[in-house]
Amino acid sequence: MKRLLTYLYDHRYVCLWAVLNVVVFTVIFALYGIELRAVWYPFVISGVFAVILLVLGFIRHRNKHRELDHIVVAKGALSDITGALPSAQTLAEEDYQSLISRIESAYRAEKGEWEAARRDMNDYYAVWVHQIKAPIAVMKVLLQQTDTPENRELSAELFRVEQYADMALSYVRLGEGASDLLIQEYALDDIVRKAVRKYAGQFIRRRIRLVYEGTDVRVITDEKWLGFIIEQLLSNAVKYTSEGSVTISVDGTKRLSVTDTGIGISPEDMPRIFEKGYTGYNGRLDKKSTGIGLYLCRMAADKLGHKLTAQSEPGRGSRFTVDLENYPFMAE
C-alpha cells in the first residue's frame, strides 16, 4: 500500500490534469446546454483506460523497485553496479545512471589508490618489525653476558620493545581479514605453555607466582592468534599486579581464564576496556599504557569466533575469559 501511495503521489500532476479536464468539459457542456450524460460516458470510458494504464505503470514501477532493491542488497557481491542497473526508460533515468557511472569510476580509482597505499604500509611495517628484531636479538645477547641489576632492567625494557614491535605487526595483520588464519584442532596446553615460557622472565623479575596445572583439552582455533591473545592477557596481568599471583585455568566447557590479584578495573571503565585507545583510570596511572592490547585481543577473538569477556573488582584483581567451546567452522 505504501508503494502504491508513493506511485500515485509521483503521478499526482497527471491525475490532477485528468480531473481538470473533466471539470473543464463539464463546465463547457453546461454553458452550451448539452446534457451531462455526454460528459459522463466518455469520462467513464477514459477512466477505465486510465485505471488500466495506472495499474500497468504501477506493476512496471514495482518490478523496477524490486530489481533496484535486489541490487542494493547484493551490492557487496557486485563488481559492476552500473552494469546491473535496469534499462533507463526516461531521459532523467539516463542522466542519473550516467552520474552513478561517473561516481563509481571515481570510487574505484580512489579505492585502488587506498588499497595500494595500505599494502605499502603493511609491507613497510612487516619489514620494519623483522629488521628491528635483529638489533634487539644482538642487544639481548650483549646484556646476558653480564648479570647485573642494570642489565636485568635493560633486558626487561628490551622485552617490552620487542613486545610492542610484535603488537604493531599484529595490528596490521588483523586488518588483512582471514588470509592469515590457519584454523585446525590444536592441543591447548601447548599454546598456553608457549606463552608462559615467553613471559616467565617477567614473572620471575616481578616476583609474581604463576599457577597453571596444565590441560588435555583440544580446541579448534588458530594457534598463532590464540597464543597472541593469551600473551596479551599475561602481559596485562604482569603489568598491573605488583604482588600475588596470576592463575591460568581451563574448565570443562573449554573456557580459558587468566586471573590476577592486581589492582583491578573500576566499574565505570569496564564497558569500554576493549575499545581502541581507551586506557581508563589504570592507564592514566601507568603513562606507558597504549590502550591497544585488549582492543587487539577482542579483534583477534572475533576473527577466531571466540568470545572474550572480563570480570574485575578494584583492589582484588581481574579475570579475562576466552570461550573456546565452539568455532563457527564450515568445511569447504
Write out pLDDT tens, residues 149-180.
888 888 888 888 888 888 887 877 776 655 56
CA distances from 197 to 194, 202, 242 (A): 5, 10, 20
Q: Residue 89 gets which letter from DSSP?
A: -
Query: Cα 124 from chain centroid?
Result: 24
HSE-CB of 82 using CA atoms within 13 angstroms = 15
d(CA 149, CA 139): 16
**Opening angle at CA 19, ends 44 and 10, nearest 5:** 110
* Three-class DSSP category at 5: helix
Cell reading at 83: 552494469
Q: Which residues contact 329 (CB under 8 A, 6 or more apart)?
A: 183, 220, 305
* Sequence-ordered list of residues with C-beta below 8 angstroms from that of 187, at least 6 positions apart, any chain: 216, 217, 218
Task: Please tell me whether residue 23 adopts helix, strand or coil conformation.
Answer: helix
Residues in contact with 43: Cβ distance below 8 Å, sequence separation at least 6, in sequence order:
22, 25
3-state secondary structure of 203: helix
Q: Which residues of the chain have pLDDT under 50?
A: 284, 287, 331-332
Structure confidence at residue 115 (pLDDT): 84
Residue 148: the pLDDT is 86
Q: Provide the pLDDT for residue 179.
A: 58
The pLDDT, as a whole number, for residue 331 is 46
- pLDDT tens across 208-219, in order? 999 999 999 999
Give the total residue count for the chain. Answer: 332
Q: Give the pLDDT confidence score for residue 72 in this predicted structure.
A: 66
Closest-CA residue to 285 (of 240, 317, 316): 240
Phi-psi region of 264 (alpha: psi -120 to 50; beta: other; left: phi over 0): left
Residues 6+ apart with CB under 8 A from 164: 290
Instruction: End-to-end CA distance of the chain: give it in Å, rounded.
Output: 44
pLDDT at 332: 46
pTM of the model: 0.64
- Please give the Cα distance from 144 to 199 (Å, whole number): 17
CA 300 to chain centre: 11
Q: Are 165 and 129 in contact (CB under 8 A)?
A: yes
